[in-house]
Chains A and B, each alone.
Chain A
Amino acid sequence: MAGSAQQDRILLALLAAGAAGLALLPWYAIESGFWSFAWLASYPDASTAPATLLAAFHERPWLWPLFLGLLLPVPALFGHRRAAALVLAGGIFGICYLFLQGFLIGLRGWSLPALEAMFGPVPPQDGLGTGALVAGTIFLLLIAAGMARRGAMRGDQFLVGAIALVVASILLFVFFPIAAVLVEAAIDAAGGFSLGALLGRLTTEDIWSLGCFAGQRYCGVFWNSLWLAVATGITTTLLGLAFALLHKRTGFRAKGLLRLLAVLPIITPPFVIGLGIILLFGRSGVGTALISDLFGIPPSRWIYGFSGLLLVQTLAFTPIAYLVLIGVVEGISPSMEEAAQTLRADRWRTFRTVTWPLLRPGLANAFLIGFVESLADFGNPLVLGGNYDVLSTDIFFAIVGSQNDPGRASALSIVLLFLTLSAFVLQRQWLGRRSYTTISGKGDAGIPAILPRGLRVLIYAATMPWLAFTVLLYLMILAGGFVRSLGLNNTPTFQHYITAFGIDWGPHGILWSGRAWPSFFTTIELAAIAAPLTAAIGLLTAYLLNRQNFFGKNSFEFLTMLSFAIPGTVIGISYIVAFNVPPIELTGTGLILVICFVFRNMPVSIRAGLATLSQIDKSLDECSLTLRHGSFATMRRVILPLLRPAIIASLVYAFVRAITSVSAVIFLVSAQYNLATAYIVGRVEISDFGVAIAYSSVLILCMLAAIGLIQLGVGEQRRARRTFGTPAALGTS
């Protein structure tokens, strides 16, 4: 069927843009960056020329066939009978050929010796650049246009295009890197591909040894990680439950404090709590000295290893369990407990027979979250691990240490991925079907049952010391920045702040002389770029998942959520493995950091979007469609304004997580693009705690200020007086 006038207009625009990508824009990546526009000076030489000129004058004739991808759809413009098929074929050919030539001809010419033997030598190719990006995107959109013409998504080009872009970007930036890791793990010392190498790496003693039961000091790193994760899961769940009950079912007054404590870990760089613990309980820590003086217990190194890690992870992740469980506790309808009481059950029996069973699925959920968080945690083991190796840090040292063994790092990544994905699948398959939520949407006039006295005492006994401890810890962290060396030399000083954030007046104005400034500016800049992108892609994905039906939607949803379960360390490794060489060469750029932020934090945007969208009546979009608005206009005028709470939540979360993340980006920082957390880790590694703490404190305050500002902005403008719930943003580090 020939396309409508609008379809033809869009096709023409796509073909024009594609032609520009091939004939005008630099085909290869520009070393100094496209946006510096320094390349315009030498345009068009061999390194800045577009594909046309490269093919014609720079010995790269294999770029010619790319035009075929744009030529094939042309007859569609003139009402060709098989327009849809032609457009589709052009797009598919274009994108396949683009990648094929990229992978076959690399930095050293042919990447397979056999091809060189067949066709003779060819000049090398750099990484794909702006022109290739534009052309690739256009090919993708041609595929979408072709499918729309065949009636996909009720013929809605915008929707098909959006799905194509989101799917392609997730494939490229989540699954291609993971696949690259899997392949890397199977590459043997000689550089060949061998299953033996893979099996060898996956079955090594280091990972699986149960030596700790046989008299050796430590077990394999798999078991270390597993023990720690299970223990952390249990402690965070129990404490989280205690806090949730404290909040909802006791007369505890300082609920604002609880909320603050719930936010703190989200804005705290992951290793900062570990630092605080060292200051407090290190062998020369303030707390240790006190205990030693009071009780005569000699200072020891107990915090370096399992016990310290358990303590610090419990501190770090209990708030997340609390956030999860508070919803569960709230979700238990008080009427149900009242019903139990009218049926002659006393408080204990009510708690035991009604409240507790209703809590159980939530507890399992909280446990799994704590479990995965612990596995993915990188910052704390880095600081406090001692000799207790866990997977996340072992992966790091396998690649950055002098071992430099990407194969081993990849194999360890596979093991870690296996653990987190198992937990994730378990959570979805097993818990997904057993939710005892009793929220009905109807008002519930019941009053929550008062907890039995013994339990109340227990809750206070568990939470109060913990609360005090957390507050003390954060005070300690703040204080640590203002003395020369906390515990050793408590002379007050601003030296650390001056070292990090000093500003001088030079002859030409402000001189940012502090050592932290470059990484600080880079961090803020990249986070500010990544946040809106994250929100946009995440919410678009949420919209597609919630509002549209298309082939493969379930697996699409599973894949997007799956990327949530991939630990940062694995992402970091996979990006290095996948994007270090052409055709897609991104290491050392700011772009790779932005991409990493976007795809790490996107699942939270998706969740926020899904939660908000599910509260927005679907008939609003349908109504808009019947009122002469297409799906794009509907999204812009109806969905987006109503999604505002989700947009804000996504922006805040993406911004904050971009600033605090460390596990993934530590592999990806470079000279030009160093990040705050990577810089701080560097300080911590050489025990320069003063500057590390000063910097962390500044980051925490910055983020608190940013969140405050954004919330202030939201509070003032509440035009629609109907309220939509803001979903709690949760995530793994």
Chain B
Amino acid sequence: MTIVNRSAAVVLEKVRKQYGVVMAVEEVSVTIEAGTLVTLLGPSGCGKTTTLRMVAGLEMPTAGRILIGDKDVTLLPPNERDVSMVFQSYALFPHMTVLENVSYGLADASLSKARKLEKAREGLRLVGLDGYDERLPSELSGGQQQRVACARALVLEPQVLLFDEPLSNLDAKLRRRMREEIRELQQKLELTSIYVTHDQEEALAVSDKIVVMNQGRIAQEGTPADLYERPADSFVADFIGAANLIPCEILRREDALAIVRFGDTELRVRAPRISGSAGYLVVRSAAVALADAGAARGLTATVRKATYLGGHWEYTLDTPFGSLFLAQPVGRRFEQGATVALQLDPQHLSVVART
């Protein structure tokens, strides 16, 4: 017996959620294709978890519709929706064994007890926990608890699998491993998944598509590369990959390019969706190369702080247009107080609107 794929698409139409006067989700419309993993990404309070909980049925939308596999589930209680959810705290029932936990959701009366247990064991095998049947959750490590939570959600063969910051209680190393396992499992079973996180690196690692949310609205949606390379606004640019934003003036546009000026420098950079004349130049570490001030052309800057981090250096630079924070490969070392030349690679620069 295996876990069957019954994935379906999820559609949110103009979904809104209001608590009294507080607007938690202003308006969200998004489509999640069957079999893909879509991440809701954003800072805390942006409405991503509320959106997820509305898909689960744990919150009722104030307005709008939610469809799972073409069926309108907006007013259905959670236990009548074909979804299952992995909680941030795992929500393992502390008074039940691992096996009881995993078989808990298999409440379908048509299933015999033996088959339920068999299915639960299959779920545990899938997450690499066979043999842990009789343990109590309190006797498992954090990672193992995580897997039990996943197994418990998987065995229901839901149309949609929901993850609410599933890795935030794990340490950094384990987090990396678990996110790979989750992604692997999701791709292997082709599960429709909605994944909520505030960790941009995690989002980039696991997603087919990322929906960046800010203040109850969708700021941008797209593939990880889209978002990283072509941020729609300063918020997305800053949130994904921690860019330096340098105020600039947009002189004119040429097709998908824009001619921008900051200080005395003029550059031609990518700017797919921008209008107006004020913008931010999005400068990531990859777009900058540092050199000795005397040795190369370019903008000059002073090293205010240099921190050695083993794999790379982190520099804080004072420049005429503000301070820049950059990571640079090891091999070349610039002392604190040194004057350096900045060489910008327009290929890796982009511009977003300044409002």
Contact = CB atoms under 8 A, between A and B. Distances in A.
In the complex, which range does the number of interface residues on chain A fall in? Answer: 20 to 34
B95 A627 contact: no
B93 A617 contact: no
Given A628-B156, A638-B93, A622 B138 contact: no
A720 B93 CA distance: 9
B324 interface: no
Contact of A620 (B75, B83, B88, B93): B93
A641 B101 CA distance: 14
B58 A626 contact: yes
Nearest to B137: A722
Contacts of A617: 89, 91
A638 B93 CA distance: 7
Contacts of B84: 626-627
Contacts of A626: 56-58, 78-79, 81, 83-85, 105, 162
Contacts of B94: 642, 720, 722
B136 A720 contact: yes
Given A641-B95, A642-B95, A721-B139, A628 B107 contact: yes
Contacts, number: 83
A60 B57 CA distance: 50
B77 interface: yes
Nearest to A623: B91
Contacts of B60: 151, 154
Contacts of B139: 721
Contact of B78 (A620, A622, A637): A622
A156 interface: yes
A625 B58 CA distance: 8
Interface in B43-83: 53, 56-58, 60, 75, 77-79, 81, 83
B109 to A, nearest CB: 11
A158 to B, nearest CB: 11
A156 B78 CA distance: 11
A642 B94 CA distance: 8
Given A627-B152, A630-B79, A622 B58 contact: yes
Interface residues on B, range: 20 to 34
A622 B53 CA distance: 10
B77 A629 contact: no
Nearest to B87: A619
Max chain B Cβ within 10 angstroms of own Cβ: one of A619, A629, A637, A721:
A619
A625 B138 CA distance: 22
B104 interface: yes
A447 B91 CA distance: 34
Contacts of A642: 93-95
B218 to A, nearest CB: 24
Consensus secondary structure, chain B interface: loop
A253 interface: no
A151 B138 CA distance: 38
B98 to A, nearest CB: 13
Contacts of A620: 91, 93
A155 interface: yes
A513 interface: no
B95 A720 contact: yes
A637 B107 CA distance: 12
Nearest to A151: B75
A623 B138 CA distance: 17
Contacts of A628: 79, 105-108, 156
Contacts of A154: 57, 60, 77
Nearest to B149: A623
A624 interface: yes
Contacts of A619: 87-89, 91
B136 A627 contact: no
Contacts of A637: 104
Most buried by B among A156, A633, A638: A638
A622 B77 contact: no
A626 B158 CA distance: 10
Contacts of A719: 95, 136
B57 A625 contact: yes
A155 to B, nearest CB: 6
A721 B91 contact: no
Contacts of B89: 617, 619
A714 to B, nearest CB: 14
Contacts of A629: 79, 104-105, 107
B171 to A, nearest CB: 17
B104 A624 contact: yes
A719 B84 CA distance: 27
B85 A721 contact: no
A641 B53 CA distance: 26
Nearest to B93: A638
Contacts of B156: 627-628
A157 to B, nearest CB: 11
A620 B60 CA distance: 19
Nearest to A154: B77
Interface in B117-143: 136-139
Interface in A617-657: 617, 619-620, 622-630, 633, 637-638, 641-642
A155 B58 contact: no
Interface in A108-129: none
B213 to A, nearest CB: 21
Given A625-B79, A626-B105, 17 more contacts: A154-B57, A619-B89, A623-B85, A623-B87, A625-B58, A625-B78, A626-B78, A626-B81, A626-B162, A627-B84, A627-B152, A628-B108, A630-B77, A637-B104, A641-B95, A721-B136, A722-B137
Q: Which 7 A-B pairs give the minimum distances between C-beta atoms?
A: A627-B105, A623-B91, A619-B91, A625-B78, A720-B95, A619-B87, A628-B107
19 contacts: A154-B60, A619-B88, A620-B93, A622-B58, A622-B85, A623-B85, A623-B87, A625-B79, A626-B58, A626-B85, A626-B162, A627-B104, A630-B77, A630-B79, A638-B93, A641-B95, A642-B95, A720-B95, A720-B138
Interface of B: 53, 56-58, 60, 75, 77-79, 81, 83-85, 87-89, 91, 93-95, 104-108, 136-139, 152, 156, 162
Interface of A: 151, 154-156, 617, 619-620, 622-630, 633, 637-638, 641-642, 719-722
